[in-house]
Amino acid sequence: MNWQPHITVATVVEDDGKFLFVEEFKAGSQVLNQPAGHLEAHETLSQAALRETLEETAWEVELTGVVGIYLYTAPSNGVTYQRICFAAKPVRHHPDRPLDSDITRAVWLTREQLLAEPQRWRSELVPRCLDDYLAGPLHSLELLRN
């Protein structure tokens, strides 16, 4: 058996009590997720988080820490994902930049707005990463060794 986890990154971006999410079309529904995606060849985890956030939201961000490292097996297909979740603050928005093709829009929501729609979460990691960010502590970016 050839089992291989998928390495992904996600970013919790906060601005004045609101958090940046993406609305994407998955399995016939619009779901909410942090800006997230797969690590690509020859990039660091930090570079992947910055790239994915820009591609999916048109926001440049500054990474401020590591929220956590998660292992998640999707019940829908049995695929295992290792997610490294970062914290970030917004730096610059590029409103004319096109978003990734599977992204409907980027949206700023409060925690309460996110929790009000559990049927729209991409996975249980969406609220978990947010709550872990809010509970702290944030881990230093120095934790990552490139």
Is residue 61 situated within a structural domain? yes
- Of 89, 67, 64, give the one whose Cα is nearest residue 135: 67
- Among residues of the chain, what percentage have pLDDT more than 90? 88
pLDDT number for residue 28: 83
Burial degree of 51 (CB within 10 A; 0-12, 13-18, 19+): middle
User: Could you give the CA distance from residue 14 to residue 143 in angstroms, rounded to a whole number?
Assistant: 21
Average pLDDT, the chain: 95
Output the domain CATH number for residue 90.
3.90.79.10
Is residue 66 predicted with pLDDT exceeding 80?
Answer: yes
Quote the domain boundaries for residue 13: 6-140
pLDDT number for residue 83: 97
Is residue 40 situated within a structural domain? yes
Is residue 146 situated within a structural domain? no
Is residue 27 predicted with pLDDT exceeding 80?
Answer: no
29-47 average pLDDT score:
96
Q: How many domains does the structure of the chain reveal? A: 1
User: Could you give the CA distance from residue 101 to residue 138 in angstroms, rounded to a whole number?
Assistant: 31
87-108 average pLDDT score:
96
pLDDT number for residue 123: 93
The encoded tokens of residue 145 equal 């060794």
Is residue 145 situated within a structural domain? no
Is residue 133 situated within a structural domain? yes
Is residue 94 situated within a structural domain? yes
DSSP-assigned letters across all residues of the chain = ----PEEEEEEEEEETTEEEEEEEEETTEEEEE-SEEEPPTT--HHHHHHHHHHHHHSEEEEEEEEEEEEEEE-TTT--EEEEEEEEEEEEEE-TTSPPPTTEEEEEEE-HHHHHT-GGGBSSTHHHHHHHHHHH-PPBPGGG---
